[in-house]
Amino acid sequence: MATPYGVSDHLFIPVYNPGSASQPQASCDLAFDPNASIALTTTKTKTGGWKINEYFQGSSDRIAIEAPTSFAAPTGAELRCTVRDEETGGTVATFSVPAPAFQSSSRSYVFTGADLRNFIGDTSRPATDKTLRGAIKPYIDHLGSTQNVGGLPNVACNLILTAELAAGQQVIPIDGSIAIQIRRADQVVADDDATP
């Protein structure tokens, strides 16, 4: 390459292949813990909308993404999440959060403590679309405007969260998913099952 200060040394420039994807997929076996789940409750607000309550139950006190021994954690990675309705298969929301630090001792990314609260969202700051609570709120508001067969707000639903790890142009898919159950806080679960 010619510059005002002379000619550069050899440069390696990737060749563009129009048949390839715009973002190359890295092959790696990252995976969520099997049977990972989160249960959230929702409460109707005075303005008629629905808030996703801060307190939740999980299959564990952490969400882990396991990696193989050959995995080299990229710097500045973020977790790109897609949430779908289990019944309809439709996309409910997408959001991205910074990936927690990679724990080389356990060969995994682990959301626990503050990282887990920031992933799910808490009331220390308004729910935004950068948290699970904030991302799914518009969908719950939409469901809450309809009624189930018993005449109750139809906010009960089962969602599935899938994700990929992204760092710059590198995108690494994550196997598995997290099951998310949403129920009304003021109703017994037996009377508030997700209905078609």
pLDDT digits (tens, 9 = 90+) for 36-95: 999 999 988 888 788 888 888 888 888 999 999 888 888 889 999 999 999 999 999 999
Average pLDDT of the residues in 3-25: 61
Lookup: tokens for 175: 């196997």
Cβ-Cβ contacts under 8 Å for 83 (sequence gap 6 or more): 91, 92, 93, 94, 95, 132, 135, 136, 159, 160, 161, 180
Tell me, what's the pLDDT at 25?
A: 44
Bridge partners (DSSP) listed for residue 182? 40, 157
pTM value is 0.76
* CATH classification number, 23-189, choose in 2.160.20, 2.30.30, 2.60.40, 1.10.10: 2.60.40
